[in-house]
Structure 1
Amino acid sequence: MSTQTKLNVFITGGTGYIGGSVLSRLLIHPSFTSGSFQISALVRTVEKGEKLKGLGVRPVVGSYDDLDVLEREAGDADVVFSLADADALPGAKAILEGLKKRYERTGRVSKLIHTLTFVMDDAGGLHGDHLIYSDLRDTDAINALPDNKFHRHVDVPIIKADEEGYLRSYIVAPGNIFGTPSGPLVDLGIQNLHSILFPIFFKVGIARKQGGYIGLGKNVSPAADVEDTADLYLILFNALLANDSNVAHGREGIYFVENAEYTGYELAKATSEALVELGIGATRDATAFTDDELELYFGKNWPFFSSNVRPRADRARALGWRPVKGKEALLASSFQGLAVPEMVYEYL
């Protein structure tokens, strides 16, 4: 991938829910343990940085608001794992600018592995009838989505940069992630242990002592386990190390992540059942949120939580991704998610 003797890898979001699991895999990668590549990681605090340094990672203290830092670090990287804020356009542009300057300075084409994109509708929970998009067969339809669709304001300039030739882009698009991560960053207490979407519904369920759904609860969403998701990043990384000319990038380089589908009602029902088991709820039934509850718990963003998203990870599986945990594990994880002590105490 580079004429350098040592590959430079820069990762953002490396202590996040997904990013921490990706970084944990990089730390045990044979090429890292043998000294063939080095890792720099963006972290928000000196304390986290010191702990990463103990794992052999070069910490870069800063945030996605530190655009000069992002540009500088990307400008020295052969591979960038972008696992922080998918909607932070200024940060994404800073990374692109760094990679562009690196190309102009060295002629080297860096690799950008970015997270994420969506193909969603505005069903309002009233139906599950939505187009199913394959990341292998439907790339033209995915790239034809309007630029104002969710996340597209960041995805579009990244794909354009690939077309301009100064980088190769690979967009990994997870569904809703569940499960509990493990690894050295968890052991050090510096990795986020929870996803974003599921805890929102769990907290709301605790507050109302019953699971709830939007509309009729018929909206369909994809899901995958956090460890299965992190595996895909490493499979993609290994494929690039082996022969990057064989790995789809740019407009073709979209890799969905899904190994289960669930409806809004199914999640609400599992939440109610878990609340009963925990002694918080009185009924295993789930009910629709009232208009007042939608405003109270979700505000103007409630349509986002009731849309259909139906991707198929065909390209990811063709690359060799073999996820293990599916719908049964997803619904069972509601008990574990609801049993987090700080969540229960805060919302009871």
Structure 2
Amino acid sequence: MSSAINIFLTGGTGYIGGGVLARLLVHPKAAQFNIKALVRTKDKAAIVTAKFPAITPIIGSNQDLDVLESAAAEADVVFAVADCDDLPAAEAILRGLKKRHESTGKTPVLIHTSGTGLLADHAAGLYAGEDIYDDADAAQIATLSITRIHRDVDLAVEAADTEGYAKTYIVLPSAVYGLATGPLVDAGFQNRFSMQIPMLIKAGLDRGQGGVVGKGANIWPYVHIDDCQDLYIVLLDAALSGSDKAGHGHQGYYFAENGEHNLYDVSAEIARVLFELGKGQRPSPTVFSDDEVKKYFGGPYIGSNSRARANRSRALGWSPGKANVEVLASSRPEIDAILESGNTTIYAIPKWLMAKYEAGH
């Protein structure tokens, strides 16, 4: 690549993407970076312009396919950190990268965000799954059906690498925990909150009692937000090195996980804290009814098993520093922050995505 490195990032106002954007600003090669970030509103763009002049905002969303294609066509590196099930948006970015390749002869880089929800089964909280996926085992990952959530987008990204017009790396965050911090959070630009644990917290606050899906026997891998964001930079550095030490395309799946918990333990800690704060009737969780599962989560997805091992990520040099036991300890700060923000709005998984999950395993 030339001395100037053009970077385009989507999802910069989000929980993960904002942290990646902040890391780019302090990267050792930051002076070489020309960073463009997609933002939805003029207000967010104004924050970037006023406080982070090294970032050029592009106003738009994943629905603005021409904007995505045009921005990708000018990029050496694209970070796609927005909706991992938006196939039209992914295809627009890929069209732009193909144009970049055709016009310059260079092979641009795409670091795309998927998720270990790809591995989710239909346990409904009733049992611990036995299938464990290894990101270093490309043949095992290749067995996953295109009908699973995220998979159609992942395969489109992988195909671009096979065709040779982009080097693609797919990051699969697990259940990310912890409050996001940093300058973009402080500026009111970046979302602080993850999904799984806040969903359980807000459900508990709404019903006045911490709850659990089924028996809570299902298992998910977890990763702290800081460690998750670090993986993107490890991949960027590997891609910019000019070597092929980082597998890409078919060999380019990278889990972000640092241990696992069953959902009962997480739900029990939330219930205990809510009880201590006078927001729950008892210190142990009660079972969500079927109606509550639909109301609070959109369906039984949160009761699934998703088991993963990040062996490829670690072999590349990713070294998560946050101990996995902090998952449980993170509940109290998250509850305090949600109560302080006053934002207890329930976020249920959209019906179309839940239908895809239910049909896809």
| Whole-Å separation in 1 of the counterparts to 2:324 and 2:60 | 37
Aligned equivalent of 2:195: 196
Give the SS at the match of 1:281. Answer: coil
Deviation of the 1:278 alpha carbon: 1.5
Q: Which residue, out of 287, 300, 308, partners 2:305?
A: 308
Partner Cα distance (1:346, 1:233) in 2: 30
Q: C-alpha distance in 2, partners of 1:41/1:346?
A: 28
- Structure 1 residues 342 and 182, CA gap change in structure 2 (3 angstroms): closer
Residue in structure 2 matched with residue 264 of structure 1 by the alignment: 263
Corresponding position: 1:38 with 2:53: no
Specify the alignment match of 2:162 in structure 1: 163
C-alpha spacing 1:30/1:80, structure 2 compared with 1 (3 Å): same
Q: Answer yes or no: is the 8 Å Cα contact 2:294–2:300 preserved in 1.
A: no
Where does residue 238 of structure 2 map in the other structure?
239
Contact 2:293 2:300 in 1 (8 A): no
> 1:94 is paired with a residue of what secondary structure?
helix
Task: Report the TM-score, using the length of structure 1 for normalisation.
Answer: 0.94
The structure 2 residue matched to 1:100, chosen from 98, 101, 105, is 98
The 3 A distance-change label for structure 1 pair 188 and 345 is closer
Give a deviation string over 1:82-103, Cα, whole Å, max 9, x none.
0011111111000000011111
Task: Give the drift of 1:116.
Answer: 0.8
Matches within 5 A, 1:135-146: 135-136=135-136, 138-146=137-145
- The corresponding residue for 1:147 is 146
Equivalence for 1:318: 315
Match of 1:116 in 2: 114
TM-score (norm 2): 0.91
Q: Distance in 2 between matches of 1:103 and 1:123?
A: 44
Corresponding residue for residue 130 of structure 1: 130
| Of 333-342 and 157-166, the range deviating more from structure 2 | 333-342
Instruction: Determine the C-alpha separation between the residues in 2 that align with 1:331 and 1:315.
Output: 26
Q: Could you say what secondary structure the match of 2:119 adopts?
A: coil
Q: Partner of 1:336 in structure 2?
A: 333
CA-to-aligned-CA distance 1:29-77 (integer Å, 9 cap, x gap): 1211xx2121110011122223223311111111001100000000010
Matched, 1:12 2:6: no
Q: Deviations over 1:173-228 (max 9, x none)?
A: 00011111222101211100001222111111112222211121100011111111
Ranges in structure 2 where 5+ consecutive residues have no aligned partner: 347-361
Partner-residue secondary structure (3-state), 1:336: helix
Would the alpha carbon gap of residues 244 and 42 (structure 1) be closer, same or farther in structure 2, given more than 3 Å must change? farther
Query: C-alpha distance in 1, partners of 2:292/2:253?
Result: 36
| Shift, 1:283, TM fit | 1.4
Q: Is the CA contact (8 Å cut-off) linking 2:216 and 2:263 kept in structure 1?
A: yes
Helix, strand or coil: the match of 1:243? coil
Any idea what the Cα deviations from partners look like across 1:271-330, whole Å, max 9, x if unmatched?
Answer: 1111022121231111211223223333xx422111100010111111111112233211
Change (3 A) 1:58 1:283: same
Deviation at 1:342, TM superposition (A): 5.4
Looking at structure 1, the residues matched to 242 and 319 of structure 2 have their Cα atoms a distance apart, in angstroms, of 20
- Give, in whole Å, the separation in 2 of the partners of 1:129 and 1:295: 22
For this pair of structures, how many residues does the alignment match? Answer: 341
Q: 1:82 aligns with which of 77, 80, 83?
A: 80
Unaligned runs of 5+ in 1: none
Deviates more, 1:100-109 or 1:75-84: 100-109
Is the CA contact (8 Å cut-off) linking 1:338 and 1:344 kept in structure 2?
Answer: no
Please report how far the alpha carbon of residue 347 of structure 1 lies from its aligned counterpart in structure 2 after TM superposition.
6.9
One-letter amino acid of the structure 2 residue matched with residue 334 of structure 1: S
The letter of the residue matching 1:322 is S
SS state at 2:302 partner:
helix
Which runs of at least 4 in structure 1 moved beyond 4 Å after TM superposition? 342-348
8 Å CA contact 2:179–2:194 kept in 1: the answer is no
What fraction of aligned residue pairs are identical, expressed as a percent? 45
